[in-house]
Amino acid sequence: MKNGKYKGSHWETRREILGKLKMRGALPSSTMAEELGISSMAVRQHLQDLQNEGDVLSSDVSGGKGRPTKYWELTDHASRHFTDSHRDLILDLLENMKHSLGPEGMDRLLEKRGEGQIETYKARVDPLTSLLAKVEGLARIRSEEGYMAEVQADGDDICYLIENHCPICAAAESCAGLCATELEVFRKTLGDEVKVERTEYLLNDSRRCVYRIRPSP
């Protein structure tokens, strides 16, 4: 996550709030206050400041009896606080490459990039034993690359690789082949004995990308 224009502990708290909303989606201020170890009033003040700057918005959610609870979530404007991998330069390069190489050339280029990723990922994931350990290893690599990845287990056989941020989102919007290649990279990294499915997709209006991973039938 980028440091932005703010410095000091005040901004550090804001960064933590932004990070929680990015990782978890909409949350009430009370939950953030408890997890940050500060007062609800302090969290609400930070949220109000972030709202004034266009980074968050709130909505009232009814839980049945009593007053609705205010939930806070990030706006698209908040993406400025997270790594965007030099958006303008990447888009310009992609457009020139597509023009120069044509569709088949771009496919070959993406395939070559994928091969390099698979080699790098497998070198770190292959030594791990269980499927969960391998997926957690893959999540660590992806987090290092800026994807804010985490893993959730569902029983003994199923786990989910969750990527809460896409540092190449603008490039992916311009070149859908990047996402198709990414899915194939995960499949080849984890091996033929594993099935990988994308169940949530940022470019299909989800707030994140989620991959369901389980042993092949």
What SS3 state is found at 27?
strand
Given this model, what pLDDT does residue 6 score?
Answer: 46
Q: CATH fold of 8-81, please?
A: Arc Repressor Mutant, subunit A (1.10.10)
Query: How far is it, in rounded angstroms, from Cα 128 to Cα 136?
Result: 10
pLDDT tens for residues 150-207? 999 998 789 999 999 988 887 888 888 889 999 999 999 999 999 999 999 999 989 8
Given this model, what pLDDT does residue 82 score?
Answer: 80
CB 40 within 8 Å of CB 46: no
Residue 96: pLDDT band (50, 70, 90) is confident
Residue 4 or residue 21, greater confidence? 21
pLDDT of 74 > 90? The answer is: yes
**CATH class for the domain made up of 87-215:** alpha beta
Domain ranges in the chain with CATH number 1.10.10.10? 8-81
pLDDT tens for residues 108-151? 999 999 999 999 999 999 999 999 999 999 999 999 999 999 99
Query: How far is it, in rounded angstroms, from Cα 127 to Cα 134?
Result: 8
Given this model, what pLDDT does residue 7 score?
Answer: 45
Write the Ramachandran bin of 205: left for phi over 0, alpha for psi from -120 to 50, otherwise beta. left
- The DSSP element (H or E) to which 100 belongs, if any, is helix 87-125
Retrieve residue 80's tokens. Answer: 């400025």
Residue 91: pLDDT band (50, 70, 90) is confident
Given this model, what pLDDT does residue 87 score?
Answer: 67
Kindly state the percentage of the chain with pLDDT values over 70: 94
Given this model, what pLDDT does residue 195 score?
Answer: 97
Residue 22 or residue 77, greater confidence? 22
Given this model, what pLDDT does residue 169 score?
Answer: 83
Domain ranges in the chain with CATH number 3.30.1380? 87-215
Give the mean pLDDT of 45-63.
Answer: 92
